[in-house]
Amino acid sequence: MPLSGLDIFKLLPKTNCGDCGVPTCMAFAMKLAQKKAELSECPHASEEAKETLGAASEPPVRLVKIGKAKPLEIGNETVMFRHEKTFFHQTGIALQLRTSEDEEQLLSKIKEIENYKVERVGEELKADLFFISHDSEEKDVFLKTLQLVKQNSTKGIILDCPDKEALKEGLDWLKDEQPAIFLKEEVTDKDIELAKNHNASLVLTAYSFDDLARQSEKAKQAGVNDLILNLASKNAGLQLQHNTIMRRSALKKNFKSFGYPLFTFIQGENEFDFLAKASLFLCKYDSIIVLPRFNKAMLYTLFTLRQNIYTDPQKPIQVDPKVYPIGEPSPESPVFVTTNFSLTYFIVSGEIENSGISAHLVVCDTEGQSVLTAWAAGKFVGEKIAAFIKDIKLEQQVKTRKLIIPGFVSQISGDLEESLPGWEVIVGCQEAADIASFVKTVKLT
């Protein structure tokens, strides 16, 4: 049973010193009970408290890291639904490499995967891991593949190698790289020993809840606690059910055997089936999905979905409010106005750029809200935009006295003109995609 805030409070020093960042021991106890803090944040906790609260204050889903240079962190989730709080560690996307492919083919695939990056709303999106399946007869080919990956990539590695001797040599070669070992079969003492000696995590595979819980308990008892769970299921519906039950058991029932990140190897009959499954398990509740083939269109879709799911809904991504030059604007160039919601900014600036003109883009502080939301909340209205424009002394930066506002907020044009004497307000198009045609039909300066 999870401990209540009051149970935890009884074990704390009760001095209310505030060294943990909250003013009272009771407030800290409540944070611990909600898994929003860790006991180590109280420097005065007694040994008894550490012993009693140690396990109870562990996050319900363990944090596991794979890789060395920029390790992928997965797990440590505290909620079932993103809107309850947020999801913290985004699903790692792994691409499969097979050792049976010839060296040239492998090298070009590794390079292609490594170089595929998408920039979206100011973030760089890319795949996180290589999943190396040893399906050739020869041990040396496995080691050669590891070498190719290490020479051409900094991504973390999951090893799928049924040949334990080759696996051991591979792990020796990957010393200090924090890889993960994927097990298709029941975990053995040998697997546990390899994981312990090489600082590797284990991906456990089972076909029933009981079996998975038993294996995770066995590995934990033997000293390997960096586990990732793969409950293989017959179809996507069943897998969704399994994933939901495991996440719920970990969070709501504090069932420690399922308190680890989840894993799925995605298989599909065609590209649509494949993408649907990958999207489903990315949302609920896998921490790693493995894709058997590299497909840019599919990856782009998954990157976008992942970015949306793992963005904190309480903190919209925003850009700094200021004037942004688009292209190489002169003082005579037109002035567009928008909000500082990242997605809005990147779409509008991109469309202005695509239209072939240079312009000034005034990005107002709307606390990261989009145009209509900010308008409805009273944050993107004539008076506030005018105050911002005066504040940044726009008149000294440009010669034009025309402002182009988004077509969706045409109703603020009168107020804005009243608040900014000497300026003319032009109502722009509603959709950013129409900017290119809009700039050709209207005199903007």
Cα–Cα distance between 6 and 395 in angstroms, integer?
A: 60
Residue 5 or 407 having the CB closest to ligand SF4: 5
Nearer to ligand SF4, 26 or 236 (CB): 26
Residue 309 has φ and ψ, to the nearest 5°, of -70, -35
Q: Candidates 9-17, 58-66, 105-113, 219-227 — which segment interacts with ligand SF4 by CB under 6 A?
A: 9-17
Output the CA torsion sign for 302, 307, 308, 312.
positive
Residue of 6, 17, 387, 433 that binds ligand SF4 (CB under 6 A): 17
Helix (H) or strand (E) holding 191: helix 189-197
Q: Is the separation of the CB atoms in 354 and 391 below 8 Å? A: no
User: Backbone dihedral region of 379: left (phi > 0), alpha (psi from -120 to 50 degrees) or beta?
Assistant: alpha
**Binding residue for ligand SF4 (CB under 6 A) from 3, 8, 11, 20?**
20
User: Which of 11, 12, 326, 404 is in the footprint of ligand SF4 by CB under 6 A?
Assistant: 12
Q: How far apart are CA 133 and CA 152, in angstroms?
A: 18
- Closest contact distance (angstroms) between CB of 22 and ligand SF4 is 6
The one segment of 10-18, 76-84, 151-159, 199-207 that binds ligand SF4 by CB under 6 A: 10-18
Sheet of strand 424-427: strand arrangement: 322-326, 359-364, 335-339, 402-405, 424-427
Per CB under 6 A, contacts with ligand SF4 among 194-223 are: none
Given the DSSP bridges, would you call strands 92-98 and 117-120 parallel, antiparallel or unpaired?
unpaired
Residue 261 phi/psi, 5-degree rounding, is -60, 155
Nearer to ligand SF4, 25 or 374 (CB): 25
User: In terms of CB distance, is 40 or 267 closer to ligand SF4?
Assistant: 40
Compare residues 19 and 424 and give the one whose CB is closer to ligand SF4: 19
Minimum distance from residue 8 beta carbon to ligand SF4 (Å): 9
Q: Which two tokens stand for residue 167?
A: 């696996």
Q: Report the residue number, 24 or 295, with the smaller CB distance to ligand SF4.
A: 24
Q: How far is CA 71 from CA 169, 229, 373, in A?
A: 22, 19, 37
Choice between 20 and 275, CB closer to ligand SF4:
20
* Nearest distance, CB of residue 4 and ligand SF4, angstroms: 16
Q: Which long-range contacts (CB under 8 A, 24 or more apart) does 179-188 make?
A: 179/66, 179/67, 180/66, 180/156, 180/228, 182/131, 182/158, 182/230, 184/160, 186/211, 186/215, 187/215, 187/218, 187/219
> In a 10 Å sphere around its CB, with 0-12 CB exposed, 13-18 middle and 19+ buried, how is residue 408 labelled?
middle
Calculate the alpha carbon distances from 138 to 101, 105, 253 in Å: 12, 17, 46
Shortest spacing between CB 86 and ligand SF4, in angstroms: 24
Looking at the Cβ atoms of 9 and 336, the one nearer to ligand SF4 is 9
Cβ–Cβ < 8 Å for 78, 37: no
Interface with ligand SF4 (CB under 6 A), residue from 10, 19, 186, 376: 19
CB atoms within 10 A of CB 199: 16
Least CB distance to ligand SF4 at residue 61 (A): 24
Least separation in angstroms between CB 254 and ligand SF4: 22
Supply the minimum distance, in Å, between the C-beta of residue 77 and ligand SF4.
25
Residue number, 44 or 164, with CB nearest to ligand SF4 = 44
Return the beta strands (E) in 255-399 as ranges: 262-265, 286-291, 322-326, 335-339, 359-364
Q: Does 18 bind ligand SF4 (CB under 6 A)?
A: yes
Q: Supply the minimum distance, in Å, between the C-beta of residue 40 and ligand SF4.
A: 11
Q: Which of 4, 6, 10, 15 binds ligand SF4 (CB under 6 A)?
A: 15
Q: Does 25 bind ligand SF4 (CB under 6 A)?
A: yes
Is residue 30 close enough to count as binding ligand SF4 by CB under 6 A? no
Is residue 379 classed as helix, strand or coil in its secondary structure?
coil
| The one segment of 24-32, 208-216, 271-279, 282-290 that binds ligand SF4 by CB under 6 A | 24-32
x/- string (CB under 6 A) for ligand SF4, residues 34-53? --------x-x---------
* Residue count, binding to ligand SF4 (CB under 6 A): 13
Quick one: 131 exposed, middle or buried, by C-beta within 10 A (0-12, 13-18, 19+)?
buried
Residues near ligand SF4, by CB under 6 A: 12-13, 15-20, 24-25, 28, 42, 44
